[in-house]
Structures are given as structure tokens and as C-alpha cells.
Amino acid sequence: KAGVTQTPRYLIKTRGQQVTLSCSPISGHRSVSWYQQTPGQGLQFLFEYFSETQRNKGNFPGRFSGRQFSNSRSEMNVSTLELGDSALYLCASKPAGPTDTQYFGPGTRLTVL
């Protein structure tokens, strides 16, 4: 099976712009989670989608949003970018339940100038 893919791999934006990141899960996986990884804060959970519905949400401002499509592909959007949004954004997919293993994509490196 193909792994989790994320596009684009690298992105450079300026403050105030918005950005959309894409994630294609492993075939058959219905749950997609997004994480932000920074050197100072480590891995922080953004949100999880399951069957097109947001099932869990982390403690991020409303500028961070996401959605999931009927084919389980997911997008994450960040509006009004700030310098502090520079990070590696990781997507992970799993079949469905809490004991299922999450498999991670390679990430999208976002740099905000």
C-alpha cells in the first residue's frame, strides 16, 4: 500500500497570507489527524477528522481549520499567517479506532516570512 502523502512538501509564505495543505491517507484509513511540530513546542495536536467530521480538536486558534472529503483526503487551512506558524505540519492516518496505529506522512515544511 502507498503511504500517507502530503503536498506540498515545502512552502514559503508571508505574514497575513493564507495557506492550504493537503493530505492523502493510506487507502482504507478513515481517520486523519494533523499535528504541528516546532523545536520549542514539540508535537502538538491540531485536529482529527473521521468520516468527514471533526472528531477531536486541539488548542489552536480559529485561524487553523480543516476538512475531510468523502475519499478521506484531508486539507488543513491556516489563515492570516503569523511568523510563529512556521513549522513542520504532519498528517497521520489510521483505520478508525483508538488502538489503531497512526501512520505519518513526510510533512509539509511551512516557512512564514
Residues that bind other proteins (CB under 8 A): 4, 31, 33, 35, 42-43, 45, 48, 50, 55-56, 58, 90, 92, 97-99, 101-107, 109
Q: Which is nearer to other proteins, 17 or 56 (CB)?
A: 56
Q: Are 43 and 108 in contact (CB under 8 A)?
A: no
Min dist. Cβ of residue 63 to other proteins (A): 20
Characterize the bridge pairing of strands 108-112 and 10-13.
parallel
Min dist. Cβ of residue 60 to other proteins (A): 13
What single DSSP character describes residue 41?
T
Q: Which is nearer to other proteins, 76 or 80 (CB)?
A: 76
Q: Which is nearer to other proteins, 56 or 77 (CB)?
A: 56
Min dist. Cβ of residue 112 to other proteins (A): 18
Min dist. Cβ of residue 109 to other proteins (A): 8
CA-to-CA dists, residue 11 to 25, 49, 55, 74, 81, angstroms:
20, 23, 27, 18, 12
Please report the DSSP string for 66-87 in residue order.
EEE-TTS-EEEEE-S--GGG-E
